[in-house]
Structure 1
Amino acid sequence: MCKTKFQYILWILLIGVSMIACQQAGEPNAKNESEFKALSADTEFDLVIKNGRVMDPETGFDKVANVGVKDGTVGLITEKDISGKRVIDASGHVVAPGFIDYHSHAQEPYGHKLYVRDGVTTPLDLEVGAFPVNDFYEFWEGKSFVNYGTNVAHVGARLEVLDGQEPDGRVLYSPAMGRAMNDGSQFKTKLYDPKDEKTIVDAVEREIKQGALGIAYPIGYYTVVGSPEINAVTALAGKYNLPITTHVRYLAQIPPSGYMGITEMLTIARQNDAPVLFHHVQSNCLGLTGPCLDLIDAARAQGQKVVGEFYPYQYAGTYVDADYNRPGFEQRMGIEASDYVITATGEHLTSKKFDSLRTAAPGTNLLMYTMKEEYIMEAFKRPGTIVGSDGMPWIVEGDEGGFNATFDTPYGAGNGHARGSGTHARILRMVRETKAIPLMEAIGKMTYGPASFLEDHVPQMKRRGRIQEGSAADITIFDPETVTDNATPKIGENSLPSTGIPYVIVNGTVVVDDSKVQNVAAGVAIRNKTIN
């Protein structure tokens, strides 16, 4: 049976790490930046990156310099000659902070392998999150070559409370989770009932105490949820000093619209003094992308901590039975049935085929061409936006269930959305080809911008998203003249890796070495303190 995007997103709720505190085992020297003293030039470094154009978006530092890495930390940035056990010559390349992606659903080794080839050192799932949170961290402990972390999934609490879904201890896909996704599941069909509210709030609070980074609301997939419930759960964000993130209701440019969805969540976040991240603004707002970004900018100008995210593709990933794909989608989104493509086969739909799938195979994965180039450029050029890939799990032909890719699955064998392979390289290519924004600004949208949103609530992020003395040695080295995405919508080309990013370092360990991914446990858990 073909699993939907949301089925996958829900089985990730069962992935899991028993950690005790934010400063995890394996986290390299999490020193306060103000206390860090640069190492001397005569230090024997573990790794030296020479002759690269070092670009730090927080400070604006932009010089050809040498970078010395010691014990997983950037120990020195200097124009002086330095030596180390390993030397990488970065001549002609940019040496940037490792890219941070807060919208990563491809939480499996093959997905991580493609992320790191795209320059991503920290792919976190903040849009949907996990449930139970501890299981997610336990799953990755000691075996991830990238940093990993998650929000608590509001939808997981609804599944537990409304559908009686109990995790069965398995990782990856859970049959119990699959059963909860059957038509009629209460989490996505039951109208708001105040009697459910306290139990749902209690379930979310229990998982917050397991070290969640924030609270995730992908309510675009269960629009039936009541605003009072969201408000009650968001009160926990204020209580525990956490942000919220959301895929808002209503993928539409007519009422009820994505604009209305953003207004709702801005109001709830403001009422509870919670920072809010809006995922893929252009995907929900479509022709209203500009006005939606104006809303976000206005809220920020009034002192609210808020950020909008986008990805640089004209098509999105979905499934037949998603709320927004119900009849009438043509007017709501300004598209036709032929703008949908079956992910696994590349077949374009007709109205007749779409109607038959609603009954026969409502979980069929689709790509839908909803976003025009001007929507993407509006978000790309808007100061303050950040990049999030929304990378989905990879469907491997012949695998029962589909989502069984491994680290050794060949590039190109995974089918899905190209954004999971090429988002960040595509952004860099857009800079080169359009010159619409400076390179430093683009790097900031993938590094310091994301880090600064989370760092007041997750101390580990204060050391990421920048390349400075004392920062974590998460580093991406790319050639600005050749870096490019290679993934396309075609079957067999969805999961082709980006090129022009020959070296990626995670916590001081070279994970991409001359464009070859090393399966080493370099990543650390990005996690808040657990609370007994």
Structure 2
Amino acid sequence: MMNKIIIQRVFFILLIGLSMIACQQAQEQSAKNDNEFRALKDETEFDLVILNGRVMDPETNFDGIRNVGVKDGVIGLITKKDISGKRVIDASGHVVAPGFIDYHSHAQEPYGHKLYVRDGVTTPLDLEVGAFPVNDFYEFWEGKAIVNYGTNVAHVGARLALLDGQEPDGRVLYSAAMGRAMNDGSQFKTKLYDPKDEKAIVDVVEREIKQGAIGIAYPIGYYTVVGSPEIYAVSALAGKYNLPITTHVRYLSQIPPSGFIGITEMLTIARENNAPLLIHHVQSNCLGLTGPCLDIIDDARANGQKVVGEFYPYQYAGTYVDADYNRPGFEQRMGIKASDYVITATGEHLTPKKLDSLRVAAPGTNLLMYTMKEEYIMEAFKRPGTIVGSDGMPWIVEGDESGFNATFDTPYGAGNGHARGAGTHARILRMVRETKAITLMEAISKMTYGPAIFLEDHVPQMKIRGRVQEGSAADITIFNPETVTDNASPKIGENSLPSTGIPYVIVNGHVVVDGSKVQNVPAGVAIRNKTFL
């Protein structure tokens, strides 16, 4: 018996020894393979290398001087070692950040895209209003966009088509279809809730979801007459297809019914339909209630709901005369007066008489309105978890009946509109430098990783964006943290001045901003969900 025990022990010891040897051999082979792979990457001639930049990755919180190699539109290597490439950018003294992501872009036009890339944006998507039909939007931009492009399905587009008989051409708010509806009763925004309309609207939205929409957009601040049951029914599609919903909530007001109530409504609808929720420009709707509005968003997130609030850093908003919140009584609701409205195309401040006349003669006139105080903006800026969305609008250029005729070659400054379409992201970086209210990494996260993680479980392309990591898409913004600034202002001729201090922007490996000059190259890809065409 003793001999048997000794034999078993010897066998056990030998087995352990053999296992240790095998493990050591596996580790050595793994290290050898890793070293060979690393050496192979080090020897690669990359398409593009970015040398000596301060690489900042908000997901990992990495912040250090590194060289970055890009191959076939992907970040292939981040290293301290010397690397070579067909094209070299010396980023000394500059931050190498993920390309900025903007989910609130209505400036879906070549001129708008040109201003976006000068502001560091590589992925401007229209998620607040969306498009209708969705496929028209994607077909229009295929092979033409210098930036990544994508859209939600526009709930308001479905209402335009079914209630007003006006089919948009991909665009919605600034389409001819919207103009015709505005001049002919605007059933989409005036007809009281009728359950008989509900099924047809749900069916049409579902049809558009199958065209690859990112999610469902509810800009119901522009048509507050829509019934909550309709929004609830349409949102069931978000649960069915695993999509997010986004909203410009009802009630731009700080008195009841307020933006706070509007946010509460959409939080409830999203929760009951198990749909992630993006709430656009919280401070713009909530005004003096911005703090409490952000609090209820934080509370919902703490309770397990996927929700994010967005903001932009300007004290004035873009609107049009006939928006619901501009109806009589706006003075009390928003704490402003008629002279706080400015005609976008001319810079003229309104009088009560002029505003009343526009309600009848030109209800679609675009306006800027001064509604927000600096403390509302700082509340959102400093709040952890908020993201940045520009709400950039189409640019108005004189010389065309529609006004929206800007081209890629339209000179900077010639487009009239809201400065946020040209300078939002550089303005955020300038605010970091001047106020030190948040860290530079926090600010970058609000413009990159924060937006990316909201969508990445629903749109796989976002899993490789919003980061500077090996294997990520080569969407990269290079800026000088000491000089980056916005130059656009409310003044006519200055609305569309480009940001400076962002000399290089890379989209899918293509240098789209090269020495602060925009290259008209089709570098963008469609950010899109599964289609059922």
Q: TM-score, normalised by structure 1?
A: 0.92
Aligned to 1:74: 75
- Asked if structure 2 preserves the Cα contact closer than 8 Å seen for 1:39 and 1:76, the reply is no
- Asked if structure 2 preserves the Cα contact closer than 8 Å seen for 1:38 and 1:470, the reply is no
Aligned length: 497
Give the whole-Å Cα distance in 2 for the aligned partners of 1:508 and 1:38: 22
- Asked if structure 2 preserves the Cα contact closer than 8 Å seen for 1:473 and 1:505, the reply is yes
> Which runs of no fewer than 5 residues in structure 2 stay unpaired?
1-36
Q: CA RMSD in A?
A: 1.5
1:500 aligns with 2:485: no
Deviations 1:361-387 (A, max 9, x none): 222111000000000000000000000
Give the whole-Å Cα distance in 2 for the aligned partners of 1:350 and 1:166: 35
- Asked if structure 1 preserves the Cα contact closer than 8 Å seen for 2:419 and 2:489, the reply is yes
Task: Specify which structure has the bigger relative contact order, considering alpha-carbon pairs within 8 angstroms and separated by 6 or more residues.
Answer: 1
Cα deviation for residue 94 of structure 1 reads 0.1
Residues 119 and 383 of structure 1: is their aligned pair in 2 closer, same or farther, counting only changes over 3 Å?
same
Aligned to 1:115: 116
Give the whole-Å Cα distance in 2 for the aligned partners of 1:145 and 1:122: 10
Structure (1/2) with the larger helix percentage: 2
1:62 aligns with 2:91: no
Residues 149 and 37 of structure 1: is their aligned pair in 2 closer, same or farther, counting only changes over 3 Å?
farther
Residues 100 and 37 of structure 1: is their aligned pair in 2 closer, same or farther, counting only changes over 3 Å?
farther
Aligned to 2:302: 301
- Asked if structure 1 preserves the Cα contact closer than 8 Å seen for 2:320 and 2:367, the reply is yes
- Asked if structure 1 preserves the Cα contact closer than 8 Å seen for 2:120 and 2:505, the reply is yes
- Asked if structure 2 preserves the Cα contact closer than 8 Å seen for 1:276 and 1:305, the reply is yes
Aligned to 2:525: 524
Deviations 1:309-346 (A, max 9, x none): 00000000011111101111011001111111111111
After superposition, residues 266-281 of structure 1 pair within 5 angstroms as 266-281=267-282
Deviations 1:197-234 (A, max 9, x none): 00000000000000000000000000000000000000
After superposition, residues 163-202 of structure 1 pair within 5 angstroms as 163-167=164-168, 175-202=176-203
After superposition, residues 352-431 of structure 1 pair within 5 angstroms as 352-431=353-432
Given residue 138 of structure 1, which amino acid in structure 2 is its aligned partner? Answer: E
- Asked if structure 1 preserves the Cα contact closer than 8 Å seen for 2:396 and 2:417, the reply is yes
- Asked if structure 1 preserves the Cα contact closer than 8 Å seen for 2:133 and 2:169, the reply is no
Aligned to 2:290: 289
Aligned to 1:486: 487
Cα deviation for residue 360 of structure 1 reads 2.0
Cα deviation for residue 181 of structure 1 reads 2.5
1:331 aligns with 2:336: no
Deviations 1:56-104 (A, max 9, x none): 0000010000000000000000011110000000000000000000000
Given residue 178 of structure 1, which amino acid in structure 2 is its aligned partner? Answer: G
Given residue 355 of structure 2, which amino acid in structure 1 is its aligned partner? Answer: F
Aligned to 1:260: 261
Aligned to 1:474: 475
**SS of residue matched to 2:42:** coil
Aligned to 2:454: 453
**SS of residue matched to 2:354:** helix
Give the whole-Å Cα distance in 2 for the aligned partners of 1:476 and 1:464: 12
After superposition, residues 97-136 of structure 1 pair within 5 angstroms as 97-136=98-137
Given residue 457 of structure 2, which amino acid in structure 1 is its aligned partner? Answer: D
Residues 37 and 156 of structure 1: is their aligned pair in 2 closer, same or farther, counting only changes over 3 Å?
farther
- Asked if structure 2 preserves the Cα contact closer than 8 Å seen for 1:37 and 1:470, the reply is no
Aligned to 2:16: none
Give the whole-Å Cα distance in 2 for the aligned partners of 1:187 and 1:420: 27
> Which runs of no fewer than 5 residues in structure 1 stay unpaired?
1-35
Deviations 1:85-129 (A, max 9, x none): 000000000000000000000000000000000000000000000
- Asked if structure 2 preserves the Cα contact closer than 8 Å seen for 1:38 and 1:75, the reply is no
**SS of residue matched to 1:41:** helix
Cα deviation for residue 177 of structure 1 reads 4.1
- Asked if structure 2 preserves the Cα contact closer than 8 Å seen for 1:427 and 1:442, the reply is yes
Give the whole-Å Cα distance in 2 for the aligned partners of 1:296 and 1:67: 37
Give the whole-Å Cα distance in 1 for the aligned partners of 2:451 and 2:465: 9
Residues 420 and 174 of structure 1: is their aligned pair in 2 closer, same or farther, counting only changes over 3 Å?
closer
Give the whole-Å Cα distance in 2 for the aligned partners of 1:124 and 1:68: 27
**SS of residue matched to 2:51:** strand
- Asked if structure 1 preserves the Cα contact closer than 8 Å seen for 2:95 and 2:481, the reply is yes
Give the whole-Å Cα distance in 2 for the aligned partners of 1:501 and 1:169: 32
Give the whole-Å Cα distance in 2 for the aligned partners of 1:168 and 1:377: 38
Residues 412 and 170 of structure 1: is their aligned pair in 2 closer, same or farther, counting only changes over 3 Å?
closer
1:313 aligns with 2:325: no
Deviations 1:465-517 (A, max 9, x none): 01100000000000000000000000000000000000000000000000000
- Asked if structure 2 preserves the Cα contact closer than 8 Å seen for 1:281 and 1:289, the reply is yes
Give the whole-Å Cα distance in 2 for the aligned partners of 1:69 and 1:108: 28
1:220 aligns with 2:259: no
Cα deviation for residue 175 of structure 1 reads 3.8
Give the whole-Å Cα distance in 2 for the aligned partners of 1:244 and 1:205: 13
**SS of residue matched to 1:242:** coil
- Asked if structure 1 preserves the Cα contact closer than 8 Å seen for 2:137 and 2:171, the reply is no
Cα deviation for residue 178 of structure 1 reads 2.6
Cα deviation for residue 401 of structure 1 reads 0.9
Give the whole-Å Cα distance in 2 for the aligned partners of 1:347 and 1:225: 33
- Aligned identity (percent) is 90
- Asked if structure 1 preserves the Cα contact closer than 8 Å seen for 2:132 and 2:171, the reply is no
Give the whole-Å Cα distance in 1 for the aligned partners of 2:60 and 2:456: 16
**SS of residue matched to 1:408:** coil
**SS of residue matched to 2:43:** coil
Residues 169 and 282 of structure 1: is their aligned pair in 2 closer, same or farther, counting only changes over 3 Å?
closer
Give the whole-Å Cα distance in 2 for the aligned partners of 1:169 and 1:215: 15
Aligned to 2:443: 442
Give the whole-Å Cα distance in 1 for the aligned partners of 2:135 and 2:38: 35
**SS of residue matched to 1:404:** coil
Give the whole-Å Cα distance in 2 for the aligned partners of 1:525 and 1:39: 32
Residues 369 and 431 of structure 1: is their aligned pair in 2 closer, same or farther, counting only changes over 3 Å?
same
Higher Cα radius of gyration: 2
Give the whole-Å Cα distance in 2 for the aligned partners of 1:47 and 1:298: 44
Give the whole-Å Cα distance in 2 for the aligned partners of 1:125 and 1:62: 31
**SS of residue matched to 1:398:** coil
Residues 429 and 451 of structure 1: is their aligned pair in 2 closer, same or farther, counting only changes over 3 Å?
same
Deviations 1:396-423 (A, max 9, x none): 0122210000000000000000000000
Give the whole-Å Cα distance in 1 for the aligned partners of 2:198 and 2:365: 32
Given residue 298 of structure 2, which amino acid in structure 1 is its aligned partner? Answer: D
